Amino acid sequence: MVLDDQPADAHFRPLRTARRSKLVLAIVIGPLLWIVALAVVAVVVDRTDSIEVGLLITAAAGVTAAVVLAILTRARRREEERYADGA
């Protein structure tokens, strides 16, 4: 969304970027969580309720992703408003 008083190429740029350690943790932890989920499913496969457990894991992953994305979106909007007001 471009406002009339802003140039068309104006984009939000945070004053400080994410620390490298946070980026590395995000890149490493995501796949590790999927490996843990696969290991749990592999252990549960011997049980009769394996389909239900797989669906629960999938639903939990979806809910977790939605919550995290909502928190990140809200934090980004707050930061945009904070620096837009000060400019």
pLDDT surpassing 60 at residue 2: no
In tens, the pLDDT along 5-33 reads: 666 556 777 677 777 787 777 777 887 88
CA distance 61 to 33: 10
Nearest Cα to 37, choosing from 24, 11, 56, 20?
Answer: 56
In tens, the pLDDT along 43-84 reads: 777 665 666 777 788 788 888 888 888 888 888 888 888 887
In this prediction, residue 20 carries a pLDDT of 78
**pTM, rounded to two decimals:** 0.45
CA dihedral 47, 53, 57, 62 (to 10 degrees): 160
